[in-house]
């Protein structure tokens, strides 16, 4: 089912800490994306939408079979994907393209 309300309580259960807030990030073709601030510090990225488990599989595969810098998958369900937050470094550089 499509997510219509931000699932703060669900995310809190998964990560084991209350959600302090969420900020919408640029969307993706797969759904809505949020930067989620957690109680006692820390942040995760939450992707909401249908069909997210294949993306989690792909990220896990890339992390274990390549040197590409991909975020750690914290939690994956078909309609909720939680990833470690990695601050952006300012775009694609020749060093990133080389990896």
Q: Is the pTM of this model over 0.75?
A: yes
pLDDT band at 86 (very low <50, low <70, confident <90, very high): confident
CA count, 13 A, side-chain hemisphere, 35: 10
CA distance 28 to 76: 16
Q: What is the pLDDT of residues 1-56, one digit of tens each?
A: 454 578 999 999 999 999 999 999 876 666 799 999 999 999 999 999 999 999 99
């Amino acid at each position: 089912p499509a997510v219509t309300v931000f699932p703060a309580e669900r995310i809190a259960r998964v990560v084991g800490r209350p959600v302090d807030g969420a900020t919408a990030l640029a969307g993706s073709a797969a759904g809505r994306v949020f930067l989620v601030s957690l109680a006692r510090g820390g942040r995760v990225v939450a992707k909401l939408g249908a069909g997210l488990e294949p993306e989690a599989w792909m990220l896990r595969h890339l992390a274990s079979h390549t040197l590409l810098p991909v975020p750690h998958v914290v939690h994956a369900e078909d309609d909720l994907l939680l990833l470690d937050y990695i601050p952006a470094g300012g775009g694609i550089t020749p060093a990133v393209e080389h990896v």
